[in-house]
Structure formats: C-alpha cells, structure tokens
Amino acid sequence: MNISLEHAKQLDQEDPLSHYKSQFNLPEGVIYLDGNSLGTQPKASQGAVEKTLIQWRQELIKGWNQGWFDAPERLGNLMAPLIGAKEEEVLITDNITLNIYKLIGYITETQQPKRPVILSEGGNFPTDGYIAQGFCHFSEFEHRFFPEGSNLEDYLDDQVAVVIMSHVHYRTGVLRDMKVITEKVHQHGAEIIWDLAHSAGALAVDLAENSVNFAVGCTYKYLNGGPGSPGFLYVNKAHQDKGWQPLTGWHGHAAPFAFDLDYSPAVGITQFRTGTHSALIYSSLEASLQLWKEVDMQQLRQKSLQMTELFRSCVADVLLHHDIQDITPEPSKRGSQVSLINTEKGFAIVQALIARGVIGDYREPGLLRFGFTPLYLSYEDVWLAAQHFCDVVESGEYKKPEFQVRSSVT
C-alpha cells in the first residue's frame, strides 16, 4: 500500500465532519462498512426511545395525542430538505415495498389515457420488481423488465404507465442522472418512481430541481433510523389529491376517528398513510433526523468520494493479483460504496473480514460490498479496513472452513 497511515490521520485532522463520529454508538474494535444495509445507532436514539417508553408507561393511550399520531407527517417535514422536497410532500410510513405499490396504484388510477405497462429495471433490488409483478398479477396491467444498463428510451412507448428505477444501484453503486432520465420518461407520457434507498443520506438529492413527482426510500441505511425503521414516500404537491392510492387504510382516511363505513381519502400527503405505526421506532428515527438537520451535504459528498477513493487505492494491487474485479463507477457516477466481484471467494473474504471486526456485506453473485458513511467513519478507519482486506486476501485467511458457512442473512 502506497498510502501511509499518517496521510489518513492528516485527512481526519482536516475533516469538517469529524465531530459527528462522537454522536454515534460504535462497538469497540469494529470498523463498520455496512451502513448501506443498516446504519449504526445515534447516541440520541437511546434517550428518545426511553422517553417514549416512559411516555407509554405514564400516559398510556394519551400518548397518541402527544406526538405519536402525527409523527409520519412531522418526520416527513424533517426529512424533506435532505431530498429537495417541500413541507407536506414527504411522509414517513410503511416500507419501500408497500410505498411502491401505493404509488403504482395512485399513478395508474389518475393517469389519462390509461396505459397498461409497468416497467422496471432488471438487476435492480428485487423487491422493486417483485411488488410491481404482484401489482400486475392482481390487475389488468402487464409487467416488463428493461435490461440493467440498457438505454431506457428503447423500452419507452405509449403503453408504459410507470417506470421504477433506483437512483443509486444497490450492487454496482452507479449513480443515475435523475434529471435526464426523468425528462425522458415524462416526454414519453409516463411517470417514474425513484427509489432513493442508496442515495438519501449518502449524497445531496434534489427532487424538485430534477422535476421528480414520485419517490420512495428507506431510513434504516444512511439515515440511521434503526432496524426496521419506516420507509418514506414523496409526492409532489402538484400531483396530490388526484385520486386514491390502493392501500386505503384507516389512517389515510379523511376522518379516521369518525369510523365511516366508506373510505374517503385524506387531503394531501396524509392519504398515503395506512394503519398504526410504532411510536418507539419513530422516536428513534426522529432523533437521527434532528441530527441530520445540521449536516452540510456537500461536505458529506466530498468526504464520501475521498473515502471510497482511499480504500480503492489501498487495495488496488491486491485486487489485481488475486483476480478480484473492482466494478465501482467513476466518482461523478458513484454512490457511497465500493463494489468488488469474485464469485469463488467473495463470500469467504467478507466473512473473514467480519471476524476481524471489519463489517461489510456480500450479495450474490460474488459481490463484496462496502458502504462508506461519512458521519461516523474516519479516514483512519478506511485505511485500517483496507489493510485488513489486503491481509485477509494475501494470507489466504478466508480459506478457513468457518468462513465458508452461510447464515440466513449475508
């Protein structure tokens, strides 16, 4: 490795975001490169959850009128600036899968003339395609895939109603040109639902600037809301109140406590609510979103790119000599991860690193995926992680039998 530890430490001394690391609970001896799967815990989360537990104990059901019930809208407004949205355009609710279903139904119901095709990207995160297929299975719509990396315009015609696409691809880390793609879809008379799972909290997103009308995402990755923390849904104000969304739960009703026999949708973003949410997990997420209010997203993006380049530079020679392919895109077209491929030993390498306290993740087929989260990673962490990677590969440590055993979650 040509880059010294001293150089990494110097970068830390110059880092304007370095103070954020102290605001997270990080296990001793762990270098965490899996924040693109599950973010680590903000220190404020524990106190927020404990406060809610006390409120539950003391106030019982009265807690719903003391901040629990309106949390989906309140947290949505907190999050809106992170994705270039206005107040009352973002709702924290359910998960990506359910939110895509809602938006497909809402768009196709309100779209005139009716179009019969839902189009999603082959190779995208499976849930996006699965839920589109499920929607089509129980309706008159047809689902189609377009090949990953292909020219989307070749698959757009007057039959396509909705396109579903990830802003940052979960495997390769490729960052899509949101503005150009959105314009192409709109020019063909269709709508696009952007999946922001790997971009919200990882880089600056500006939905309004890019003329986006619909988007979804999650809060348990870069936004550190906690395991199973809710997803979010964005609908541009100009496209609200045009019809029904298909998951017409009671919290999305215009008057949920009137207990009317028939459904009538609430006004605005609230109609995309469904049923009762968890006050506990919402309190954890709210603590994290309060922290995010202070973050300079341009500084965050700069650090992200510097960290990914530092890691790649440190491991480049080892990758070359051990037949491990680096498929990470160039910086301007990259999310906040490094993606490496080796179908024979990739899984075992990741397990050996985890045993050393360097936590990344593995995705079939053969993907070693390392997420770089600027708020709680230091440059020294990145340098040390790269050193461990090189040691594991060059020594053959990954060949040990215990690193070949697969658990349910990789």
| pLDDT value for 395 | 97
Structure token digits, residue 213:
């009308």
Q: Is 130 exposed, middle or buried (0-12, 13-18, 19+ CB in 10 A)?
A: middle
Instruction: Indicate the residue type of 50.
Output: E
Domain coordinates of the chain in residue numbers? Answer: 5-41+296-404, 67-292
Query: Other C-beta atoms within 10 Å of 197: how many?
Result: 25
Query: Other C-beta atoms within 10 Å of 65: how many?
Result: 10
Candidates 311, 369, 370, 403; catalytic one: 369
Candidates 176, 221, 273, 334; catalytic one: 221
| pLDDT value for 1 | 57
**CA 234 – CA 307 distance, rounded (Å):** 30
Active site residue 176: no
Candidates 125, 130, 145, 155; catalytic one: 125
| pLDDT value for 255 | 97
**Domain covering 5-41+296-404 assigned CATH 3.90.1150.10 in the classification:** yes
| pLDDT value for 2 | 75
Active site residue 74: no
Buried b (16+ CB within 10 A) or exposed e, 13-25: eebebbebbeebe
Active site residue 311: no
What CATH number does domain 67-292 carry, 3.40.640.10, 1.50.10.20, 3.40.50.300, 1.10.1040.10?
A: 3.40.640.10
Residues listed for the chain: 410
**Could you give phi then psi for residue 283, rounded to 5 degrees?**
-70, -35
| 8-state DSSP, 402 | G
Buried b (16+ CB within 10 A) or exposed e, 329-367: beeeebbbbbbbbbeebbbbbbbbbbebebbbbbbeebb
Active site residue 234: no
Candidates 15, 34, 195, 361; catalytic one: 195
| pLDDT value for 113 | 86
Candidates 32, 101, 214, 220; catalytic one: 220
Instruction: Indicate the residue type of 257.
Output: F
Active site residue 232: no
pLDDT in tens, the chain (410 residues): 578 999 999 999 999 999 999 999 999 999 999 999 999 999 999 999 999 999 999 999 999 999 999 999 999 999 999 999 999 999 999 999 999 999 999 999 988 889 999 999 999 999 999 999 999 999 999 999 999 989 999 999 999 999 999 999 999 999 999 999 999 999 999 999 999 999 999 999 999 999 999 999 999 999 999 999 999 999 999 999 999 999 999 999 999 999 999 999 999 999 999 999 999 999 999 999 999 999 999 999 999 999 999 999 999 999 999 999 999 999 999 999 999 999 999 999 999 999 999 999 999 999 999 999 999 999 999 999 999 999 999 999 999 999 999 888 87
